[in-house]
Amino acid sequence: MKKRLIYGLLIVVMSGGFISAADHYFEISRNLDVFTALFKDVNASYVDDTNPSKLMRTCIDGMLKTLDPFTNYISESQIETYRIQNSEKIVEIGIHFQIMDSLPVVTDLIKDLPADKAGLQIGDKMLALDGQSTRGKGYDEVTQALHGQTGTAINIKLQTIKGETKDLSITRQEFQQTNVPYSGMLTKDIGCINLKVFNPNAGKDVKEAYEKLKREHPELKGIILDLRGNPGGLLTEAVNVVNVFVDKNKLVVTTKGRVSEWNSTFRTLNDPTDTKIPVVVITDNHSASASEIVSGCMQDYDRGVILGQKTYGKGLVQIQKNLSYNTMLKVTTAKYYIPSGRCIQAINYAERNDDGSVKRIPDSLKHEFKTAGGRKVWDGGGVDPDMPVANPAPNPLIEVLISKNVIFDFATKYKVSHNTISPAADFKLSDKDYEDFIAFAKTRDHSYKTESDKLLDKLKETATEEKYYDAVKTQYEDIRKKLDADKASAFQKNKTEVVTLLENEICGRYYYLNGKIEKSLQNDPLAIKAIALLNNPQGEYKELLTKK
């Protein structure tokens, strides 16, 4: 009954259908009056006790759910966590962690921040924070405990990677997530800049990283801008990053909304750093928002080749509005359009299926646009790469080794027994080390089912139900034995990929995120392809930028 009342409230609030602009505010006022009266009467007259706050939250969430997932209401109890998660500045001790076996475990350290200086290591387990056990606590609870005021201390009880218990008091410090965790040379003349987020100074950081590479390596002839996994950030910093490679006073992005005051145009403001050097921008399906502005602009101006996977497809702009009682609304106010005129938003939330679900804009509804050089590009689905490279097919062994922390835990074990390793660029796991890993993995649950296993299980189930199993039992068991034997050799068949992941993880233990990225790029298929393109700028690189 209570659910019916809530849905009824939502219908009243959302009613009005298609109305003229002149009647818009009257419709809002009328529906608010109806809703207020109904809400009061429900809470005053309903047969059982009601929780007004819970009812209201259900109404608000139901209403916003009909819009887009980026329009959200933040209650007073959520406001502090929201501000922490969305702040450009972080007040904390400088770690990343994950919940493993019901305890928070340090998975990354930020160099020279308090946790690093205090001697924490990747793999350490946080048993208690300020005297409160962390066992069974969720990620958000632990995050909130780690954050606090600048200069305040947090007391941490650790189980170190050597199995010792240690108590530390660490003073919190304000810092900003690094925009460029890695920049360096992948070959003697090809450089790479890894841009992870668009926080303040992202454009300055990319410019300085490029200038340093050029200064230290005059033979530099090509640059890779790696935007994989970059969720976006400040729109103005996207403009500044584009400005590193594109001339002054060039259009970068236009925002357009229903309310004209939210319409804006952003152009490059400064003299560029280099408009000639060949550039390859690497993207994936997690490159979103500001990452899509940068990659889309580089494509629209034919300034660089986009390599990898189609980007996420978020072309919506949000603002934050403070409400009463220390609450907040994050609301989508506009869409953004890149220089060719296209919007890269991939989902039309205004049009839904009968069941309320949404889907990506179909190809039949996409529109053609042209780059500065006349190449065809399309709207409605993120930025399509000039050279698409599909993600590799899922590897069940790799997936289970990652998901069950077997690779992570072996790297921890390796760190305990090796005080130092060679520089990240030179580090190699020996065959003996790999045999040690296989032995270690066999002590852990790394069982998994392939698609063949699942089909074979289904065959047995169906044959048993239909009473045919006895007739095929011998053949079934033969196939099962062959599959199991093949899985037993999986560590050797997948040695190259497993070793790569182990080397990346181990390098991160000694050389932080910078070393992990540096090592990972050595065997990265997309980085290798980008190098090949940049090594032949008058060949395939040029063809991709001039193909009509």
Q: Of 153, 176, 199, at which residue does a domain stop?
A: 176
CA 545, 205, 151 angle in degrees (round to 5)? 150
Question: Do residues 125 and 156 lie in contact, with contact meaning Cβ atoms separated by under 8 Å?
Answer: no
Q: How many CB atoms lie within 10 A of CB 359?
A: 11
Instruction: Give percent above pLDDT 70 in the chain.
Output: 95
Domain shared by 122 and 190, yes or no: no
Question: Tens of pLDDT along 244-289?
Answer: 999 999 999 999 998 888 799 999 999 999 999 999 999 999 999 9
- Mark whether 213 and 277 lie in a shared domain: yes
Q: Is 370 helix (H, G, I), strand (E, B) or coil?
A: strand
In a domain? residue 542: no
C-alpha 512/C-alpha 505 separation (Å) is: 10
pLDDT one-digit tens code per residue, 134-167: 999 999 899 989 998 899 999 999 999 999 999 9
Co-location of 299 and 413 in the same domain: no
**Annotation marks residue 289 as catalytic:** yes
Residues 186 and 329 in one domain: yes
- How sure is the predictor about 413, in pLDDT bands with cuts at 50, 70 and 90? very high
Q: What is the 3-state secondary structure (H, E, C) of 480-508?
A: HHHHHHHHHCHHHHCHHHHHHHHHHHHHH
**CATH code of 152's domain:** 2.30.42.10
**3 pLDDT tier (thresholds 50, 70, 90):** very low
Q: 3-state class of 91 per DSSP?
A: strand
Active site residue 314: yes
541 within some domain: no
Same domain, 229 and 377: yes
- 300 given a catalytic annotation: yes
pLDDT > 90 fraction of the chain, expressed in percent and rounded = 74
pLDDT of residue 12: 41
Domain boundary among 66, 100, 121: 66
- What DSSP character marks residue 539? T
For the record, the structure tokens of 247 come out as: 């001339």
My answer on whether 323 and 458 are in the same domain is no
Q: Are 111 and 135 found together in one domain? A: yes
pLDDT of residue 128: 97
At 504, is the pLDDT very low, low, confident or very high (cuts 50, 70, 90)? very high
Does position 125 have pLDDT exceeding 80, yes or no? yes
| Marked catalytic residue, from 68, 284, 300, 524 | 300
> Residue 96 pLDDT > 90, yes or no?
yes
The answer to whether the beta carbons of residues 302 and 373 sit under 8 Å apart is yes
Q: How confident is the model at residue 21 (pLDDT cuts 50, 70, 90)?
A: low
Residue 400 shares a structural domain with residue 462: no
Best mean pLDDT range from 18-32, 202-216, 346-360 = 202-216
Q: What's the domain count of the chain?
A: 5
The whole-angstrom separation of Cα 423 and Cα 427 is 6
Residue 78 lies in a domain: no
Question: What pLDDT shows up at residue 6?
Answer: 42
CA distance 304 to 261: 33
**Per-residue confidence (pLDDT) for residue 20, from 0 to 100:** 60
Residue 528: HSE in the Cβ half-sphere, 13 Å Cα cutoff? 7
Q: Would you state the structure tokens that stand for residue 297, as one six-digit string? A: 């602009």
365-404: pLDDT as tens digits: 889 999 999 999 999 889 999 999 998 888 999 999 999 9
Task: Please name the residues in contact with 279: beta carbons below 8 A apart, sequence gap of 6 or more.
Answer: 222, 223, 224, 225, 245, 298, 303, 304, 305
Question: 547 lies in a domain?
Answer: no
CATH label of the domain that carries residue 359 = 3.90.226.10
Q: Are residues 367 and 423 in the same domain?
A: no
Cα gap 279→243, rounded to integer Å: 13
pLDDT single digits (tens) 517-545: 999 999 999 999 999 999 999 999 999 99
Rounded mean pLDDT, 480-488:
78
Are the C-beta atoms of 145 and 159 separated by less than 8 Å?
A: no
Question: Do 305 and 219 lie in a common domain?
Answer: yes
Beta bridge partners of 253: 266
Distances (CA, A) of 408 to 93, 401, 411, 522, 548: 22, 9, 5, 20, 47
**Residue 207 contacts residue 239 (beta carbons within 8 Å):** no
Note whether residue 42 is domain-resident.
yes
* CA atoms of 90 and 77, how far apart (whole Å): 20
Greatest CA separation for the chain: 80
In the set 196, 314, 415, 516, the catalytic residue is 314
Q: Are 195 and 230 in contact (CB under 8 A)?
A: yes
pLDDT of residue 211 exceeding 50, the answer is: yes
Is the predicted pLDDT of residue 14 greater than 50, yes or no?
Answer: no
User: Is residue 77 a part of any domain in this protein?
Assistant: no
Question: What is the Cα–Cα distance from 61 to 217, expressed in whole angstroms?
Answer: 54
How many C-alpha atoms does 353 have within 13 Å on its Cβ side? 7
Instruction: Let me know whether 16 and 33 are in one domain.
Output: yes
What angle is formed at CA 453 by the lines to CA 452 and CA 459, rounded to 5 degrees? 90
Kindly name the residue from 137, 205, 287, 289 that is annotated as catalytic: 289
Residue 131 within any structural domain of the chain? yes
3-state secondary structure of 418: coil
If you average pLDDT over residues 87-98, what whole number do you get?
Answer: 87
Domain extent at residue 143: 89-176
Domain final residue, candidates 34, 66, 98 = 66
Residue 91 pLDDT exceeds 90 = no
Domain identity same for 528 and 387: no
Q: Name the residue among 245, 173, 260 with its Cα closest to residue 203.
A: 245
Eight-class DSSP state of 391:
P
Question: Given a cut of 50, is residue 11 above it in pLDDT?
Answer: no
Average pLDDT, rounded, for the chain: 91
Is 74 part of any domain?
A: no
Rounded to the nearest 10°, the torsion over CA 326, 332, 337, 338 is: 40
Between CA 469 and CA 464 the distance in angstroms is 5
Give 284-341 pLDDT, tens digit per residue.
999 999 999 999 999 999 999 999 999 999 999 998 999 999 999 999 999 999 999 9
Q: What is each CA distance from 450 to 224, 395, 400, in whole angstroms? A: 36, 9, 11
CA–CA gap between residue 131 and residue 127 (Å, rounded): 9
Q: Look at residue 444 and tell me whether its pLDDT is greater than 70.
A: yes
Q: What angle do CA 385, 391, 396 make, to 5 degrees?
A: 170
